[in-house]
Structure 1
């Protein structure tokens, strides 16, 4: 009888802890591989009127754009530049032209 009660208690605890663990939610403020832009950078870039350049291939985070693609630095915000590629606004690293975020 005692073994049965202990076994039942062990199973109950295991099931309850598993159910509890499944209800835990972790919120990641930035999806993996992207950055959290300062609000003023996003606002500035979205307000600028610059021509779109045509780029053959997929433009995704991590793509390094050719040096021939003109980028525009964000004033007073070191480390942020942008351009418009295939009608999509992208944030790039000024030194490398690597896409760090695509604004939608």
Structure 2
């Protein structure tokens, strides 16, 4: 009986170490600030024939678009809007007009 208990005691730390090695801790799902778009959002935006707007400011993730730039909502998917600025398709948050991704 004592041999069985010693064997169990020896296996326990080994199995704990194996579990610890396979654990992944995610602190930020998008550490670079980029957003993973649902595929249907990207497909919809890329298929639209929306005219491009000329804009003098920088178009980059985090930039706020002025009210003079018209944005269009993505139907049936909340939280995403788009526009085309300087020939680049841009995904924005509809409420804040903040650029969340520039499609290339």
What TM-score do you get using the length of structure 1 for normalisation?
A: 0.70
Unaligned 5+ runs, structure 1: 1-28
- Give the C-alpha shift of residue 58 in structure 1: 1.3
- Give the C-alpha shift of residue 57 in structure 1: 2.0
Q: Secondary structure at the match of 2:49?
A: coil
Q: Report what 2:45 is aligned to.
A: 45
Could you list the per-position Cα deviations for residues 8-55 of structure 1 after superposition, in whole angstroms to 9, with x for gaps in the alignment?
xxxxxxxxxxxxxxxxxxxxx856111100000000000000110011
Q: Following TM superposition, where does structure 1 have runs of at least 4 consecutive aligned residues deviating by more than 4 angstroms?
A: none
2:39 and 2:31 map into 1 onto residues whose CA distance is 17
Q: Report what 2:21 is aligned to.
A: none
Number of residue equivalences: 77
RMSD: 1.6
What TM-score do you get using the length of structure 2 for normalisation?
A: 0.70
Unaligned 5+ runs, structure 2: 1-28
